[in-house]
Amino acid sequence: MTTFLLHFGPAHPAAHGVLRCMLYMRGEWIVSCSIVLGLLHRGTEKLMEYRNSTQAIGYMDRLDYVSPIANECAFVYSIEEALCVTHSGSASTMMSRIYMIEIMRIANHLLNIACHSGDLGCLITLLWLFEDRELLYTVSTSLCGSRVHAYAIIPYATRITLGPSVMHTLVVFITELSTKMETLINVILLHRLWGSRLLGVGTIASTHTSISGVMLRCTGITWDVRVIHNAYRYSSMSMSIVSGTTGDSYDRLLIRIMEVLVSASMVIQITGVLLTMEGVYSVDVSDYTLESLIGSFKQCISCYGHAIGVGLVEAPKGELYVMSSLDGVQLWRIRIRCPDILHLWLLHSIAVGLMLSDVVTLVGTIDVVFGSVDM
């Protein structure tokens, strides 16, 4: 049987010029795979270097626009490390950041599960979960005033307004969502479509050095930066690390569903903590004057020279690293290591030996946003 070349997709308009996937087929089977990425390079890092540290936060929202808060936190953490800012006296700020990260993690996994279900033919799940995701965006709009591009995290502070009514709405939603996720798990475990399309497809070995997040935990390794790194107030909460056994697409789907439940539990815990904190809803500015603010800005500009900081966040798609090099308050160099592009390169190896229809499920379980790939 002769081998022929097939250009696979991309079907999504945002992927044109970013991903070029060439499959060498022998009948319905893939014998080789070649991927070309970054044909539409936007130069996000270079654009950020022409801005100061606060202006550059908006660029992070455009990378992974499904969960922008995690990108903002990674960048702000790198700025705070470069400026030697500690978080010992800002418990409410750190809790608010974790609060938004976990909300965005739920929204990210809901989108992945829903769209992946649509790829497999389960359109009911697609429509079902999009209702919950829409409500999460409504809550996010109430918290930070923006629907998609949040711009909610700034150095040593947040732009989030936490009110009792919004928290009550979110708690009620989380309770209903947890019940829905348990029902979805039962459906996946019993439905023959999920098993026949996902079991044994796209198996990943733990020896891959570039994987992180769900892609790493599906191989059986219980590694989560939120627990292992023991920072950013995660150590004060009760959470579980969900891991798989075989590393296939079926494990990755189940892990994302279970992580929705874990994040829902953390949102409930943080809500209880924030409600007991004093001064979460309002800030007393009576002791601050214009002269004192100008003096603090001058002190920051004069004291800090060239400094480097690295921010690390367990984003919904994997470990997100941001390295910022500051010259005063101006960004001199910035480097971003997104997990999306590293996971997408796995198609070179895990697609070989599968059928053409399996490639669709692989791209879905890898969970890629091409804004991060095309940075």
* Cα–Cα distance, 89 to 7 (Å, whole number): 55
For the segment 122-165, what is each residue's pLDDT rounded down to a tens digit? 777 788 888 888 888 888 888 887 778 888 888 877 887 777 77
Arithmetic mean of pLDDT, 84-97: 71
For the segment 91-102, what is each residue's pLDDT rounded down to a tens digit? 777 888 888 888
Spatial CB neighbours of 64, under 8 Å, sequence gap ≥ 6: 70, 71, 315, 317, 338, 340, 369, 371, 372
Of the two residues 90 and 59, the one the predictor is more confident about is 59
Confidence band of 298 (pLDDT split at 50, 70, 90): low
Cβ contact 39:17 at 8 Å = yes
Check whether 315 has a pLDDT greater than 80.
Answer: yes
The predicted pLDDT at position 347 comes to: 84
Confidence band of 345 (pLDDT split at 50, 70, 90): confident
Phi, psi of 172 (to 5 degrees): -65, -40
Domain ranges of the chain: 43-281+291-332
For the segment 217-231, what is each residue's pLDDT rounded down to a tens digit? 999 888 888 888 766
> How much of the chain exceeds pLDDT 90, in percent?
7
Superfamily of domain 43-281+291-332: Cytochrome-c3 Hydrogenase, chain B (1.10.645.10)
Write down the pTM of the prediction: 0.87
Check whether 299 has a pLDDT greater than 60.
Answer: no
Arithmetic mean of pLDDT, 275-285: 52
Cβ contact 360:208 at 8 Å = no
Of the two residues 277 and 301, the one the predictor is more confident about is 277
Q: Which range is most confident: 104-118, 141-155, 269-283, 297-311? A: 104-118
Check whether 363 has a pLDDT greater than 70.
Answer: yes
Arithmetic mean of pLDDT, 314-340: 87
Dig out the tokens for 66 from the structure.
């499904």
Tell me the C-alpha to C-alpha distance, in Å, between residue 228 and each of 43, 234, 290, 339. 32, 10, 42, 18
Check whether 72 has a pLDDT greater than 60.
Answer: yes
Arithmetic mean of pLDDT, 41-47: 82
Arithmetic mean of pLDDT, 331-337: 88
Confidence band of 209 (pLDDT split at 50, 70, 90): confident
Dig out the tokens for 50 from the structure.
């022409």
